[in-house]
Structure 1
Amino acid sequence: MRRRGRRRDAVALAVLLLVATAACTPPNLPPPLTPTRTTSPGKSPVADGAVVVGVEGGAVTGFNPHAIADWSTASRAVTELVLPSAVVMAANGTLAPDPDVVDSVTVRPAVPVGVSQVDATGAVTTAGSPFTVTYALDRRAAWSDGTPITAEDFAYLRDQMVSQAGAEAPAGYRLITAVRSRDAGKTVDVEFAEPFAEWRTLFSPLLPSHIMKDSPGGWSAALATELPVSGNRYKMDSYNAVTGEITLVRNDKFWGAPPGPASVVLRQGGPSDLVAGLERGDLQAVLVGPGADSSAALAAAVPQERRVTVAEPASVQLVFDTTTGPAAEQDIRRAVAAALDLDRLRAVLSGQQATAYPTVTSQVRLPATGAPVAPGSARVPSDDTTVSTPGDRTTSTEPASSGSAGEPVGPPITTGNADAATALLAGAGFRRTGLYAARDGQVLRMTLAYPQQDARLTAAALEIQTRLGAAGIEIDLRPDAPSTIVEDLLPAGTVDLALLTVPRGFSDTVSAASAFGCPTQDAPVADAAVPVLPPRVGNLSGYCAPDLQETLTDALAGRVDVTEADDMLWSALPVLPVAEPTTTFAVAPELASVITTERRGWVWTGPLAGLAEWPTP
């Protein structure tokens, strides 16, 4: 069962009324709005020893860390503190098995058929063996309801990641051919179809399979409003969907070292309210997006040594439905891009601080991640290897990407050029004789979906409608729940475009193969009255091209660099990357040490991932 608009508050109602008016207005009237929020953070009583953090954002849409639709700053922080992971990233950007969950990881390279080897019984065999990663789990590791964390959780996650619409980064899971359980589930053998150097991207976090499988709605709904059990230092105590306040407390069933702060309270609100709360002492830390007024207030309230700008592991994208309708035509997609002023869009998204959101110049790499080095080793080990400490990954938390003269480097396509947009539309057979371009008597009309409770994306959607209308493309706006957009509207062809914040993992190769690899369907329905389309697992646009697929497959196998796919993707344009979001993390004086520690890994984990190690208030 799909989740559809679970929470509609006064802010959402105001947005709907605004959009309804804008959708009926000719291009350029009214001017797009700047994103604002009037919601104040909740002020429920706080227990002693609690850390209270203010987070900008709308209503949390869910707590499934592997669902694109559920991604937000708040939900990411909660899942990192509550759910267990096979591999974790430290603040310095290095990766290692989580010692509280995994005792050791052994990587065994593939052995071709015909090569002699000694099997587990001591017999000599030439049957060959697949590339295998074996996890030896801590025997004490268990969910807070007493259920052991076992191979069953690994197998469940693999099965869902290759079949659920809108799953984030499924490419590595598709290579898994078997998940085998030994030693009462505490030894997990994961076998792959081919060597996979990026295996550290998998099984983090794990999900409670025993609850997910039996819950109504399963993957889509089991974690919609809560995390019912914990396998980490904290557990979820409460979530108030009205105020957006989330309370975490120590998991008294956790087998490892307890966290420092006894509890964590996440309060959501608008940037100005959060800054004011930090000044009053109601909050010990805040994560706020850019904005002319709020950024100035934050700079005045918090000295530079207690604040830092952190890039998010995501990009704001205009996703095209490349399978049906007008957006299936490449010239139409390129005309849309040509009509849009990306600098103006970034200004709208960032509250008139366009430079706060880095320009995305690559389809396969984020601008703020520097020059990534594959986690651990880019080479598949040649011998049996017990993994303890992986190598460094070069990252930067700061926004980046500037030209030699200090100006942002733009994407390698034409944008912000009305004449180019007109020429591309003409090439597709559309001529403009009135307000809108038409072909064979049919006006070029498309529907744009966007998350209904995201103030920044709402303002950007109105800007897109205005700009495309001026170029002769009629745009109908469709605000909806992120899960509905990702899981239903895009796959069904109900909308032509979707403006979304799309998260991604630290592996460029896995992220690109997931977002642009051809959709797959393991078991097609024969003789169906209505064609059954494969779910868009990771690939929101539905784009599929044999030459691109070959490049992505080779990149996953380590035969080519994934950047070889960049030119093909900019030419085909299944998505138009607009910007990489950023937030400013600021702390009260008592948490100043948090800012001064190593933070290269924050671009992927966020600053709240290490909250269990923060000083106790």
Structure 2
Amino acid sequence: MLLVAVLAALAGCTAQPPPQPAPAPAPAPRTEPTRIVVGVDALGAGFNPHLLAHQSPVTTAVAALVLPSVFRPDATGTLRLDRTIATSAEVVSTAPFTVSYELNVTASWSSNAPIAAEDFVYLVEQMRSQPGVADAAGYRLITDVRSRAGGKAVDVVFSEPYPQWQQLFSQLLPASILKDAPGSWTGALANGLPVSGGPFRVASVDRARGEVVLARNDLYWDTPATLDQILLRRLDPNTLAEGLRVGDVHVALPAADPAVRQAVAGIVPAVRTQNAPQPTVTELGLRGDAGPLADPRVRQAIGAMVDREAVRAAVAPDALPADAFGLAPSQPGYAPSAPPGAPARPDPATAEQLLTSVGYTRSADGGWVRNGQPLRLVIGAAAERSDDLRVAELVAAQLEAAGVRTSLVAPPAAELFGQSSVTPTPPSTTASPTPTPTAPARAAGPEPTPSVNAPGPTPSPASSPTPTSASTASPVPGAGGVRVDVLVQPRTVGGDLGTELSSDFGCPRATAAVADPPPTPTGFCFPALQPLLDSLLTGPANPQLAATVERVLWAQVPALPLFQPVTLVVSTPTSDAATGIGPGPLRTGPATGAQRWTAPVT
């Protein structure tokens, strides 16, 4: 019995096998982000919506989805207070004219800095002092920006009543990041936007691949975007059409062009195409402050030599012909203001009369000379703007055929529209539409030769003059560059008429805040016109006064309007159901409301 008891005790001390762990749960299947791929034909030169150099459909789309605005256009284009940014905005005094803004206390940048008074101050300071900006006239009236409530209330004081004050403080930029960044106004925004104040953020810009990725801003304080991503991808017409056909591309926003229309025409099921006019007019800016075009009679003669319709037909046949300095062809109330003949229409006889009146004569080879010097013009187009380069080449050919010697330069857009002299870089026939760094640029922040009907007699091919290379362009003494006499440039449209006319053709005045304001890209200033522009800027709408301004501008010819570019909005039946995409308001374009887009059902 004792032996049995001992054996039983030993059996009870024997180690038991350890319990087996429960099987690990199977990993959840990895889900791909919901996204829409948007085909485009160019990325543009940069992403600052306030710079002429950065105007492009991609910049318009990105700014609408990433940058905060106090007022935004509704579906009809009427400005409405965006309460995600400001809970109120109203005129609180008329002497001096003062507007008070109460900002949404929850509105903040994705860096966690509040959207606040310092962002208002930064935009005002830059718009008044930087060259090459768009629609600066209203900001020049501001004399003071006062912060209250820890920066969440702002009082803006004006020197004059400004009825169109709701146009201001659209697409605010993050002062906390940009104010101390080297080259902040231009350089820091060349490859993206560092932080977001909207439903999407710029996750990456890869110029080598031709892609911009917008990702949902997870720090957005209001209703979040439905999609995880919107991918903007640069594609040629045939690749674009194939992508739409197989479903790799959902929406396309290329420039309206017969090649694109033909490429997408055979897709089954049929795609929908809509025209979306862009908020710019392409024009020839004629330098009025120096050089041969300082004399308005020479500007008029150049206008009489250029066949604007032939240029438009060759470069942008689907664009809208522009024959006014103020409203764009797509805007309500637009009417051509161009006179029946020169300088709006080609007229070789008028051109000859005008040049003769200022002392030019024809040389033995048919060129125009004065005091032994040929009439030579430097024509500039931005290297990143392929259509502008084509315009420059065609205009140069027309002027050469009419006896004007030309040189072509293609500097970066920011240089062309922001400096009085530029590097004499010749146009490159092999350059891509946008710069192509060797590595993708990631945004900072908490998350990652067509024939042209030239006016006048056309020389035979053997004797026809051609534009000279940039190396022969006339230098600017002491400047280390060349002065551009004719600029192919965008003019912004879609806002207040008085503001745009004053910004584009007015004489910026020195103020206590800005002692030396930058001129317009062409340097044009006609003091006799200024009182009329001031009345349009600070007074009620006056169609008769606007018509008078148009007549003066056609007499002075600070520019030659060419055309309003048009974006082609292409969508499949599936993407239509997911996005409801359309042309959108002129200033914000087809991507307006993309935070409500859903992923197409395949």
Query: What TM-score range do you get, normalising by the shorter chain?
Result: 0.7 to 0.9
Give how far 1:361 is off.
1.7
Once residues 511 and 236 of structure 2 are traced to their aligned partners in structure 1, the CA distance between those partners, rounded to angstroms, is 44
- 1:118-163 per-residue CA deviation (whole Å, 9 max, x = no partner) reads xxxxxxxxxxx42211111110111111111111110111111111
2:379 pairs, out of 426, 448, 456, with 448
Unaligned runs of 5+ in 2: 1-30, 423-478
State the secondary structure of the residue aligned to 1:576. Answer: strand
Give how far 1:595 is off.
7.9
Change (3 A) 1:544 1:578: same
Change (3 A) 1:481 1:153: same
Change (3 A) 1:285 1:517: same
2:219 pairs, out of 245, 253, 256, with 253
Specify the alignment match of 2:471 in structure 1.
none
Specify the alignment match of 2:36 in structure 1.
51
Unaligned runs of 5+ in 1: 1-45, 111-128, 373-400, 527-532
2:539 pairs, out of 540, 553, 558, with 558
The answer on whether the counterparts of 1:490 and 1:541 sit within 8 Å (CA) in structure 2 is no
Does 1:428 find its partner at 2:411? no
- 1:315-348 per-residue CA deviation (whole Å, 9 max, x = no partner) reads 1110111000001111111111111111110012
Does 1:185 find its partner at 2:151? yes
State the secondary structure of the residue aligned to 2:150. Answer: coil
Give how far 1:267 is off.
0.6
Once residues 152 and 327 of structure 1 are traced to their aligned partners in structure 2, the CA distance between those partners, rounded to angstroms, is 41
Once residues 230 and 212 of structure 2 are traced to their aligned partners in structure 1, the CA distance between those partners, rounded to angstroms, is 8
The answer on whether the counterparts of 1:237 and 1:249 sit within 8 Å (CA) in structure 2 is yes
Does 1:130 find its partner at 2:58? no
Q: Which letter does structure 2 place at the counterpart of 1:102?
A: A
Specify the alignment match of 2:349 in structure 1.
419
Query: Matches of residues 344-355 of structure 1 in structure 2 within 5 Å?
Result: 344-350=310-316, 353=317
The answer on whether the counterparts of 2:73 and 2:585 sit within 8 Å (CA) in structure 1 is no
- 1:411-443 per-residue CA deviation (whole Å, 9 max, x = no partner) reads 874422222222222122111122411011000
Give how far 1:597 is off.
7.2
1:603 pairs, out of 552, 570, 586, with 586
Change (3 A) 1:412 1:48: farther
Give how far 1:224 is off.
1.6
Query: Matches of residues 21-36 of structure 1 in structure 2 within 5 Å?
Result: none
Change (3 A) 1:182 1:523: closer
Specify the alignment match of 2:122 in structure 1.
156
State the secondary structure of the residue aligned to 1:477. Answer: strand
Specify the alignment match of 1:96 in structure 2.
80
- 1:50-99 per-residue CA deviation (whole Å, 9 max, x = no partner) reads 01101122x53111111111111112211211111111112232211111
How many residue pairs get matched? Answer: 508
Q: Which letter does structure 2 place at the counterpart of 1:365?
A: L
Does 1:330 find its partner at 2:319? no
Which structure has the bigger radius of gyration?
Answer: 2
Once residues 605 and 594 of structure 1 are traced to their aligned partners in structure 2, the CA distance between those partners, rounded to angstroms, is 20
Give how far 1:568 is off.
0.6
Q: Which letter does structure 2 place at the counterpart of 1:60?
A: G
Once residues 263 and 596 of structure 1 are traced to their aligned partners in structure 2, the CA distance between those partners, rounded to angstroms, is 17
Specify the alignment match of 1:76 in structure 2.
60
Change (3 A) 1:544 1:304: farther
State the secondary structure of the residue aligned to 2:284. Answer: strand
- 1:213-265 per-residue CA deviation (whole Å, 9 max, x = no partner) reads 11011212121212111111011111002122000111111100001211110
Worse-matched range after superposition: 257-266 or 415-424: 415-424
- 1:510-567 per-residue CA deviation (whole Å, 9 max, x = no partner) reads 11110011033447999xxxxxx7412xx22221122211001011121544333111
The answer on whether the counterparts of 1:364 and 1:563 sit within 8 Å (CA) in structure 2 is no
Specify the alignment match of 1:574 in structure 2.
558
2:331 pairs, out of 356, 366, 369, with 369
Coordinate RMSD, CA, aligned: 2.5
Once residues 525 and 249 of structure 1 are traced to their aligned partners in structure 2, the CA distance between those partners, rounded to angstroms, is 38
The answer on whether the counterparts of 1:591 and 1:614 sit within 8 Å (CA) in structure 2 is no
Query: Matches of residues 125-524 of structure 1 in structure 2 within 5 Å?
Result: 129-301=95-267, 306-350=272-316, 353=317, 356-371=318-333, 413-433=343-363, 434-489=365-420, 494-522=483-511
Once residues 160 and 308 of structure 1 are traced to their aligned partners in structure 2, the CA distance between those partners, rounded to angstroms, is 36
Worse-matched range after superposition: 588-597 or 509-518: 588-597
Q: Which letter does structure 2 place at the counterpart of 1:549?
A: Q
Change (3 A) 1:535 1:349: same
Once residues 127 and 394 of structure 2 are traced to their aligned partners in structure 1, the CA distance between those partners, rounded to angstroms, is 34
- 1:368-410 per-residue CA deviation (whole Å, 9 max, x = no partner) reads 11228xxxxxxxxxxxxxxxxxxxxxxxxxxxx799xxxx997
Worse-matched range after superposition: 474-483 or 585-594: 585-594
The answer on whether the counterparts of 1:109 and 1:195 sit within 8 Å (CA) in structure 2 is no
State the secondary structure of the residue aligned to 2:91. Answer: strand
Once residues 558 and 84 of structure 1 are traced to their aligned partners in structure 2, the CA distance between those partners, rounded to angstroms, is 28
State the secondary structure of the residue aligned to 2:114. Answer: coil
The answer on whether the counterparts of 2:300 and 2:342 sit within 8 Å (CA) in structure 1 is no
Give how far 1:572 is off.
0.4
Change (3 A) 1:272 1:427: farther
Once residues 145 and 164 of structure 2 are traced to their aligned partners in structure 1, the CA distance between those partners, rounded to angstroms, is 17
Q: Which letter does structure 2 place at the counterpart of 1:182?
A: R
Give how far 1:479 is off.
0.9
Change (3 A) 1:156 1:267: same
Change (3 A) 1:503 1:302: farther
Specify the alignment match of 1:590 in structure 2.
574
Once residues 513 and 216 of structure 2 are traced to their aligned partners in structure 1, the CA distance between those partners, rounded to angstroms, is 46
Once residues 554 and 490 of structure 1 are traced to their aligned partners in structure 2, the CA distance between those partners, rounded to angstroms, is 33
